[in-house]
Chains A and B, each alone.
Chain A
């Protein structure tokens, strides 16, 4: 079956000839009309539309956006409520938000103003990663333009509603994408993620005030939910997996790039073979990391048992292969991985899978913030083991050791970085056991003995 056509909602104007990121262009394309529409609605009604839309967060965890907003009841709050746009797009393999920021920043700003209005927020931040200096400049310019046209600032469009948005640049740390680490960084501190409980952002967020942290794509979706209504938006995609999804494909495919599809409308196989032109250089697929580098790897040829809901509501058991996996939140979870940030990394059979993991482990060891013990010590340890294995200094027992180290991290850390660094290790070692063991058997063992004799 050929792949369905792209469904461009958020990416509607991205790369459209003649489309620029200045406000005049945005207005010519119907920009800020949804904001005007939103101002005719009451805040709680907008929250209800978002709830009805079934929109799930596009940052990685896929948490229902309306539910997140629902944790904050502005009527019961004596503290200000903050909304932060998480533009710290740092997950390896993920490059969707930067397209929006660079090419259609006003779409994000319009979505943010609507989201802020809905939640009675008067001060909002865009936290953008340090490696996006150009993106920060573009956003600054866009904010100034929007302010000049009174889409931001005091008494926006005569509605009586005030909002300021500030851009804050990170200093180059993956952990700042973790929402409480981001909040700490925004407060001017080391981005050590906070313990939850008690520091849930909805209760004790930025400056200990209720705070909403949403991904760039999620906030853009809010604009489209206002445009079409929550119920209509929910018709896109599949139940519980509504809307469109930005997908970034990288790695060994003929046409890597960014695409937008209805959630679950196409399979992983269609994405790789039809949309991306297949594995490049006529090679074969070895593995796919389906949702950013921390999602668990899928191996070519694997079979998965899933339950599929039928039209009459009954469930049937089904066995599917990797290429048959529909690209939606629930099925990706059912096959033991996640759709995460929408970054699909394709690995062909020319790659040394142990080296692939060593590369990922190196990233996580470099990015561990160092606050809590398992991730701080374990991430570097896993890097050292995988690097040794890949470089021919492994031992057979390293394979079991590697798994055991990862098992001692996942679920025991302050933030999800523990899972982010251990899931790749757990899945690579489990699914490519033979490859790892072969490396271990062929290895010469550690070149340098541990210091201190232990």
Chain B
């Protein structure tokens, strides 16, 4: 597991012994080590809760998960009394117990919806609401608010509260990316426990007491760690909101697309929240083998370039000093006509470890058509500091794929490419999703010496301005495909929004460029490309995109093993 949770209440060891437990009258077998909330969940019974989170320590403060429980009645011989049905008779405890802190035991009885339980939930719901501002119409949490949901499901129809509500600080700026509304807070302490236990950044706490209890950051501290926005996800109400997302879009309008974060080699599983071809937010999607339920703020907020003003929206061709729009097919034909007069040694390709396996595979095929290994090729490595939580030192999402398809040479060829261009030996450069100047470190002077510069990028730059052909590609949210993360896990990207303007999905650009230059094309869809990929790589044999599934498959124990 790449993500170390402080707790995993929802996971039991595979060899955990099974216990006989009665849940709402049905006897079932469940592994030892589960609490009542998780045990009930495994048999399809939902026990509502606010403070309980399977990955955090148990606080037991919200009292929403109160259930009725019992233990086997013991006879004089200290053995359970067996009833007419052959099962132990249960002695029910008259006092409700919290499901989150009650571990299941042999012969235990659980009632998740008895009159006593219903009464408890009604009471807790009422208490939680009396001092809660009913500002749902302007609250970002509306639509995914547990207070709303459980109020409808378990609460009262009417309010009996005629007193003044408690007033607390509003719009508290507690961090770079987070705003706190203390009146909405229900004091579940999830955010406090997350910061303390998961990130080891114990900056949140309660001040005051009783009904006046107020969530706050410690004096002189801010909630600024790189995981701070996870507190917004786990906040069951609208107390913690994301500055980036608040007031932007009602959540019920969001289409959620399962994909992965491309911010580093961890490949956190995400949901892309979009509406009408605009991405509004990324949120983590549970995958215990990758990111559990979390993602870093950097990855979460690193999508705004998709809708940047500098986004290139149509292919262009430069003739002398004039850059003009060009039709895709014309661009492909013109590139073919111009590139074929160069020897392989005169051509260089700067690919990217941000490209999908399918794109890298097609790029490798294109290179073969242009003369194979004589075409100097590499990607731009990006490294940062691993944080021991989720962030990988490798900031490219598909370094493993780039190596697998031999596009990457770990950046060692970049200097040779630079030298070759500056010395005039290399005349043609095809740069994909890396800026030759900004990313690959070439000089503008060197670029000017090229006979043919082809860029395939998202954003406008000097390089795209002077490129002979600028081919606008697609962002991660606009394409399907696969990547292999740093732990050797093959995972899928899915298309959340359409490619804007005249832009084209990169696999299609490469497919068309390849067929235009080398002729012949048996591949049309992304599935077909993946099939060809799988056929060419033993580690992927037998796989298809659909078989990869939402949670991915392990294809190599570690990235290192795919180095060729």
User: Which residues of A are in contact with B by a Cβ distance under 8 Å?
Assistant: 173, 190, 192, 195, 197-198, 365-374, 376-381, 384-385, 388, 395, 401, 404, 407-409, 411-414, 445-446, 448-454
Contacts and interface: CB of A to CB of B under 8 A. Distances in A.
Interface in B151-196: 159-166, 186-187
Contact of A371 (B58, B61, B127): B61
Interface stretch (B206-214, B294-302, B420-428, B550-558): B206-214
Interface in B103-121: 103, 119-120
Nearest to A410: B95
Main secondary structure of the interface of B (DSSP, over half): loop
A367 B162 CA distance: 23
Sorted from nearest, which 5 A-B pairs have the closest CB atoms?
A408-B123, A370-B213, A377-B127, A380-B211, A195-B60
Contacts, number: 120
Nearest to A395: B162
Contact of B127 (A192, A197, A369, A378): A378
B160 A379 contact: no
A450 B127 contact: no
A370 B187 contact: yes
B130 interface: yes
Contacts of B161: 381, 450, 454
B210 A366 contact: yes
A451 B165 contact: yes
A195 B98 contact: yes
B133 interface: yes
B166 A380 contact: yes
B548 interface: no
Given A449-B162, A454-B161, A374 B101 contact: no
Interface string B84-101: 000000000001101001
Contacts of B123: 374, 407-409, 412
B96 A411 contact: yes
Given A381-B163, A412-B96, A195 B101 contact: yes
13 contacts: A195-B60, A195-B98, A373-B61, A373-B64, A374-B123, A374-B124, A376-B127, A379-B211, A384-B163, A401-B160, A413-B63, A414-B61, A446-B163
Given A372-B61, A384-B163, A365 B134 contact: no
Main secondary structure of the interface of A (DSSP, over half): loop
Contacts of A197: 101-103
B123 to A, nearest CB: 3
A366 to B, nearest CB: 7
A427 to B, nearest CB: 19
Contact of A368 (B135, B166, B186, B210): B210
Nearest to A173: B209
A173 B209 CA distance: 10
Nearest to B97: A197
Contacts of A368: 209-211
Contact of B212 (A198, A370, A411): A370
Contacts of B66: 412
A408 B101 CA distance: 20
B119 to A, nearest CB: 8
Contacts of B102: 197
A16 B124 CA distance: 53
A70 B101 CA distance: 25
Contacts of B135: 452
Nearest to A192: B61
B131 interface: yes
Contacts of A445: 162
B353 to A, nearest CB: 47
B187 A450 contact: no
Contact of B206 (A190, A366, A384): A190
Given A197-B102, A372-B63, A373-B63, A446 B162 contact: yes
A384 B209 CA distance: 16
Interface in B57-76: 58-64, 66
B134 A452 contact: yes
A355 B528 CA distance: 81
A450 B164 contact: yes
Nearest to B127: A377
B128 interface: yes
User: Which among B59, B162, B213 has the greatest number of chain A C-beta atoms within 10 A?
Assistant: B162
